[in-house]
Structure 1
Amino acid sequence: MRITAPRTHGGTPASPHTTSVAVLMELLRNDASGGHVKCWERFAEAAARRADEGAGLDLTVYVLGHHEHVEELSPHVRFVAVRPVLSTAAIMPAVGGVDITDLVPHHPRLAGLLPRHDVWHLTHTFAFASTAVRLARRADPASRPGLVASLHTDVPALASVYTRQAMDRVPGLSRLSGGPAAGLPYLVGELARRRRDRLLRRCDRVLASSPEACEEIGAITGPDRVSLLRRGVDHERFRSDPAARRELARVHGIPADTPLVLFVGRADASKRLPLLAEAVLRLRHRGHRAHLVVVGSGAATGLVTRLLGPDVTHLGPQPQEWLARVYAGCDVFALPSHTETVGNVVAEAMACGLPVVLPECAATTQWLAAPGGDGLLVRDDTQEGWTRALEDLLARPEARRAMGRQAARTARTRHPTWTRVLEEDLLPVWQEAAGTVERAGALRS
């Protein structure tokens, strides 16, 4: 597949009054993709539903793929997959990760496609982002694109976690983890943070996921260049379903009469899944009935199985349609992770009527309107603290169900749709970036 015509990717060329936006997501897109990819799938679907031939927007989301291809969602919205040059696929097993990205400093194929777009929107900090920033720096100030960035993953935190996992897993490195190289995970995290911050400083606008994150990024870029990008929820897809529990038991053999604790995400230490498994194990030792359901894949799957044996069910990655049934069929949603910038799985669980259990200090708590009423915050963020929090919910089924009903009300009344977020948070930023390019002058340094 080759793409040659300006501002067209198998669809209709953009009109002079249409803002052509390239969203750059240097991640492999497939059924196992995580929340970062799912977020832009939902935004693309919302853009494809817009009337009046896209209403002034032509959107192309660039992703990684095993072969180059185009997936058209509408004449004005599409995904374009390009092959990675320096894929991380080979090293992911060693570090315990699952997301595949591209580490090449310059992606020549992407570089040939970007000039047709008015706005380049960075969503990560690797090959696509570095290619875009390099091209923008070399462009004529009068014709360069608008540069926008949004933060979806705490890359510095993940870099630190993966370095620690590699030191524990790779022969030779494990001997260094307690010696002079003990500080290596922190150093790698700091280097990743500095790289991220350099890219953000080059952008005309940075979108952060919470008021606290806006303040943090504003200290790097200046507060006038930061605004909020919320996340949406598909309220039609994610909702309570009384029949889901029976179907979950029938399809996967999950106990129908045992309280189910659900985890959704990358099944590794970066999401702190082992801590949750230890908490469920302690519950079992104290005589409580509890079964852990894990949706996702990752390096901790074997460890969790060894800990819990028949008291855990690993479903692996699930399509959105079935994931909604999994949420609705469980009793409690627990996410101990500290690395989420938003954690859209929390909003999906709440929309399905589940009480959610979260670390008190995590960014995911932004989904709650009344902590203690529509979700439970764990102040003692240890194995014992999580055990006590889950024990409290599992031992009081009426209180648990009341919290789930309040969570569903919060979702219906407080959590926006993807269309609303697109219209209110993204489109104005893209239009401003496209309209002020000629006045922007030289790229900020």
Structure 2
Amino acid sequence: MDSVAVLVELTRNAMSGGQVKSWERFAESAAGLPDGLVPDLTVYFLGERDHVETLAPHVRFVMLRPVLGTARLSSAEGAGDATDLAPYHPRLAALLPRHDVWHLTHSFAYATTAVRLARAAARRGDPVPRLVASVHTDVPRLAAVYTRHLADRALPLPGHHPGDVLADQAERWLRRRRDRLLGACERVLVPTPAGRAELAPLLGPHRVGPLRRGTDHDRFHPDPTARALLTHRHGLPADRPLVLFAGRLDASKGLPLLAHALRLLRDRGDAAHLVMVGSGAETGAVHRLLGADATLLGPLPQDRLAEVYAGCDVFAFPSRTETCGNVVAEAMASGLAVLLPEGATTTQWLSAPGRDGIVVPADDPHTWADALATLVTDPHHLTGVRRAAAATARHHHPTWTRVLTEDLLPHWTRPSPDDHTPPAHAA
């Protein structure tokens, strides 16, 4: 079988976000399958030092140091996973030729290096590697959120929002850049129908396919003992519902909206406690707003995160920058009632909106406070939604191994002669 290189240009550590975790789960699934049923698989991440971690004889992680890393910027602003903004990564360039299939997952140093090498091979008349891509994060939209936030903070003008123009420019530029890189790939895999609708006119419907997200049902599941453990370990209140938020603690994920909704709920006399897992720029603002009614647990590894899920009651996630939202699937599998914004891609995890999760119709604190109140003030309703969420996860959310075999492996095997493969110089 071919050798596959998956290029995940994000830093891998115990606290990494959903995209890194997704490829860890895919690799673990591949390692659990017999050699010969899956290609030789190397997943490249960024790391503080160059090293290799072997999962199985045919599966491994390779961590490479970034050339122009964003770790300092991300740490200062809580601005998400660190990546590499260099236009070329020499160490990766030396390693890629040993692989037959190059799978792009982003649009920064690893992706630009891969496309540059493929174009050079095509010009020389050498064998050209097969390029496949998958879209995990809406980077242009995320960049627009941060650009708007930083510009408005740097130039505060009453009644004016100077960040709007800059945000629109940044989003358009990054979307054009992303599309040029995707244009070099024979297949592009997306997690949602909306993603397919966006890219099919650009690339052609035959080149765009699905890539779902899986759920680790062994790790994430309801646990009636978890609440007592969580209360004992972190001093969380035992007399009120716990509302969980997991992810980057910043405006791009909608945390300020949720915090203001919980403040309104408290002012009405309805008790609920916010539990936050992660780190980010809005931590201080949330504590100033909610005081003792909010607890920050910080970034947690997956096993500890599973305990927190199972010990809480509601998972509230106002984010609109997700392409999929693994945390929503994990929360539902753990038996939490989830609250999601209407129209967000995360609602795809629901099979019966209103029954196995609540869809909030407007992005304002009052509407979110009303939605939260339907759960925290009605224990019977909360229990029903929690049970329905767990049932949906159990019966409808695929495992990582199933997604690997159905959505990825067919695109990593050699294409048939009539496949429509773009020229490598298309980017």
Q: Label 1:132 to 1:438 Cα distance change in 2 as closer, same or farther (>3 A).
A: farther
Q: Label 1:441 to 1:246 Cα distance change in 2 as closer, same or farther (>3 A).
A: closer
1:30 is matched with which residue? Answer: 13
Distance 2:133 2:83 in 1: 17
Matched, 1:211 2:221: no
Task: Give the aligned residue type for 1:368.
Answer: L
Tell me, yes or no, if the aligned pair for 2:150 and 2:163 is still in contact at 8 Å: no
Deviations 1:124-169 (A, max 9, x none): 1100001101111111466111101101111011111111222244
> Following TM superposition, by how much is the alpha carbon of 1:70 offset from its aligned partner in structure 2, in angstroms?
0.3
Secondary structure of the equivalent of 1:90? helix
Matched, 1:45 2:45: no
Matched, 1:137 2:119: yes
Tell me, yes or no, if the aligned pair for 1:201 and 1:444 is still in contact at 8 Å: no
2:142 is matched with which residue? Answer: 158
Number of residues of Structure 1 aligned to a counterpart in Structure 2: 424
Deviations 1:287-310 (A, max 9, x none): 011100011111111111111111
Distance 1:236 1:335 in 2: 23
> Following TM superposition, by how much is the alpha carbon of 1:317 offset from its aligned partner in structure 2, in angstroms?
1.1
Tell me, yes or no, if the aligned pair for 1:48 and 1:54 is still in contact at 8 Å: no
Distance 1:25 1:67 in 2: 15
Secondary structure of the equivalent of 1:130? helix
Mapping for residues 181-196 of structure 1, pairs under 5 Å: 182-196=164-178
Secondary structure of the equivalent of 2:9? strand
Secondary structure of the equivalent of 1:227? strand
> Following TM superposition, by how much is the alpha carbon of 1:91 offset from its aligned partner in structure 2, in angstroms?
2.3
> Following TM superposition, by how much is the alpha carbon of 1:444 offset from its aligned partner in structure 2, in angstroms?
5.5
> Following TM superposition, by how much is the alpha carbon of 1:342 offset from its aligned partner in structure 2, in angstroms?
0.3
Q: 1:253 aligns with which of 231, 235, 255?
A: 235
Matched, 1:443 2:424: yes
Structure 1: which 5+ residue stretches go unaligned?
A: 1-17
Distance 1:57 1:411 in 2: 29
Q: Label 1:419 to 1:349 Cα distance change in 2 as closer, same or farther (>3 A).
A: same
Distance 1:207 1:195 in 2: 17
Deviations 1:309-347 (A, max 9, x none): 110011111111111111111111110000000001111
Matched, 1:384 2:366: yes
1:167 is matched with which residue? Answer: 151
Secondary structure of the equivalent of 1:356? strand
Distance 1:176 1:194 in 2: 32
Distance 1:348 1:71 in 2: 26
Tell me, yes or no, if the aligned pair for 1:95 and 1:166 is still in contact at 8 Å: no
Distance 2:315 2:30 in 1: 30
> Following TM superposition, by how much is the alpha carbon of 1:215 offset from its aligned partner in structure 2, in angstroms?
1.7
RMSD across aligned positions (CA)? 1.9
> Following TM superposition, by how much is the alpha carbon of 1:77 offset from its aligned partner in structure 2, in angstroms?
0.6
Tell me, yes or no, if the aligned pair for 2:148 and 2:163 is still in contact at 8 Å: no
Task: Give the aligned residue type for 1:158.
Answer: L
Residue identity over aligned pairs, in percent, reads 59
Structure 2: which 5+ residue stretches go unaligned?
A: none
2:254 is matched with which residue? Answer: 272
Matched, 1:366 2:348: yes
1:284 is matched with which residue? Answer: 266
Distance 2:153 2:192 in 1: 35
Distance 2:65 2:304 in 1: 29
Task: Give the aligned residue type for 2:18.
Answer: G
Distance 2:401 2:15 in 1: 24
Q: Label 1:437 to 1:300 Cα distance change in 2 as closer, same or farther (>3 A).
A: farther
Secondary structure of the equivalent of 1:404? helix
Mapping for residues 286-365 of structure 1, pairs under 5 Å: 286-365=268-347
Tell me, yes or no, if the aligned pair for 1:95 and 1:163 is still in contact at 8 Å: no
2:131 is matched with which residue? Answer: 147
> Following TM superposition, by how much is the alpha carbon of 1:381 offset from its aligned partner in structure 2, in angstroms?
2.1
Task: Give the aligned residue type for 1:270.
Answer: S
Distance 2:127 2:306 in 1: 45
Distance 1:95 1:344 in 2: 23
Distance 1:93 1:175 in 2: 27
Q: Label 1:134 to 1:310 Cα distance change in 2 as closer, same or farther (>3 A).
A: same
Q: Label 1:442 to 1:392 Cα distance change in 2 as closer, same or farther (>3 A).
A: closer
Distance 2:179 2:223 in 1: 43
Q: Label 1:197 to 1:90 Cα distance change in 2 as closer, same or farther (>3 A).
A: same
Greater mean alpha carbon deviation, residues 214-223 or residues 413-422: 214-223
Secondary structure of the equivalent of 1:80? strand
Q: TM-score when scaled to structure 1?
A: 0.92
Task: Give the aligned residue type for 2:149.
Answer: Q
Mapping for residues 414-429 of structure 1, pairs under 5 Å: 414-429=396-411
Deviations 1:221-271 (A, max 9, x none): 111100000000011111100000000001111111111111111111000
Distance 2:129 2:16 in 1: 29
Q: Label 1:134 to 1:254 Cα distance change in 2 as closer, same or farther (>3 A).
A: same
Distance 2:312 2:241 in 1: 7
Secondary structure of the equivalent of 1:48? helix
Distance 2:354 2:418 in 1: 47
Task: Give the aligned residue type for 1:324.
Answer: A
Q: 1:395 aligns with which of 353, 359, 377?
A: 377
Greater mean alpha carbon deviation, residues 137-146 or residues 330-339: 137-146
Tell me, yes or no, if the aligned pair for 1:146 and 1:437 is still in contact at 8 Å: no
Tell me, yes or no, if the aligned pair for 1:241 and 1:328 is still in contact at 8 Å: yes
Distance 1:300 1:440 in 2: 45
Matched, 1:198 2:167: no
Task: Give the aligned residue type for 2:146.
Answer: Y
Deviations 1:184-216 (A, max 9, x none): 111111111111111111110000001221121
Q: Label 1:413 to 1:130 Cα distance change in 2 as closer, same or farther (>3 A).
A: same
> Following TM superposition, by how much is the alpha carbon of 1:89 offset from its aligned partner in structure 2, in angstroms?
1.9
Secondary structure of the equivalent of 2:323? coil
Task: Give the aligned residue type for 1:139.
Answer: A
1:84 is matched with which residue? Answer: 66
Task: Give the aligned residue type for 2:304.
Answer: W
Task: Give the aligned residue type for 1:48.
Answer: A
